[in-house]
Amino acid sequence: MSSTRRDFLKTAALAGGATLMAPHLIHAKDPTAMPPFPAKDDISLAQWALVDEIRKGKWKTLDFPKVARKDFDLNGIEFVNTLFEVPTITYLNQLRQNAADQGVEMVLIMVDAEGDGAEPTAELRRQFEVNHRKWVDIAHYLGCHAVRTNCRAPEGADPEEALKWATESYQMLLDYARPSGVRIVIENHGGVSNDADWMVRLVKAVDDPAFGTYPDWRQPGRDFDNIAYLRKTIPYAFGQSYRNQPTEAESAAMIKISQDSGYTGWYGIESSGREAIKEGIRILKKYL
């Protein structure tokens, strides 16, 4: 364990209930083992699909396991960091218990508002890594297999320079995450991450078995070929963001691309609203 990580965990332990995770990491039986990735396909629910309900106060993150099981009968859930209320030890223990009670697996945490993976200065790249540490630790404590990040680069940035910046950022973050076994993935949320060829180059440059892609299916458009993007990035995927396509046939085609690539694992439904979620479940169950 690096001195940086050890110092951070010591600080977290001394902070007690306010921050947390340290005891679980310190006493892990095998801290270098990554959580197993599913050997078969399954369906998870992305919290963002119901963000409007959360913002209206209809339910909270602690209720998410129950919502996934009781309302949709799904086996996995994918969190959004900005929707956690106060992730203290007590809070996270309750969340773990709620998930266990419902038989729901906590799959990953989508991290927003903590910096970009392709920042132009060394200071910002270090801050990106530091900002994501707590979410790596929380993911590990909850049993999530991955943390999802954003990597856009500043508008107009040279892609070659952005590749160097991102390689440095993710190698730093992976060094921190390695003892926990938590994977680090990138979702295509604009900028350089929308360039499938650039993403493949980044994965190869970082060259770490715990680093990969998290393809967001999105909707087809003139500025983004979602089918071509999926085909190029799915071989490096540790999960994917499923969205209903304009037709069932198009959704089925993208499922087939995933299957033909050898992908097995979670399809995280991120289509917005309950009816869209139910339609996604129907389609996925039909074609998986």
Domains with residue ranges and CATH for the chain: 44-287 (3.20.20.150)
pLDDT at residue 155 in the model: 97
**Token output for 266:** 């979670």
217-272 residue pLDDT tens: 998 888 899 999 999 999 999 999 999 999 999 999 999 999 999 999 999 999 99
How much of the chain exceeds pLDDT 70, in percent? 87
pLDDT at residue 26 in the model: 35
pLDDT at residue 15 in the model: 39
- 3-state secondary structure at position 270: coil
CB atoms near residue 225 (< 10 Å): 14
Report whether 275 contacts 53 (CB < 8 A): no
d(CA 177, CA 174): 5
Torsions phi, psi for 54 (to 5 deg): -65, -45
pLDDT at residue 33 in the model: 60
Please check the confidence at residue 99 and state whether its pLDDT lies above 90: yes
136-158 residue pLDDT tens: 999 999 999 999 999 999 999 99
Which residue in the block uniquely carries the two structure tokens 């790596």?
Answer: 136
Task: State the Cα torsion 13-122-136-159 to the nearest 10°.
Answer: 180
d(CA 151, CA 232): 17
12-60 residue pLDDT tens: 433 334 445 543 443 343 445 676 677 799 999 999 999 999 999 999 9
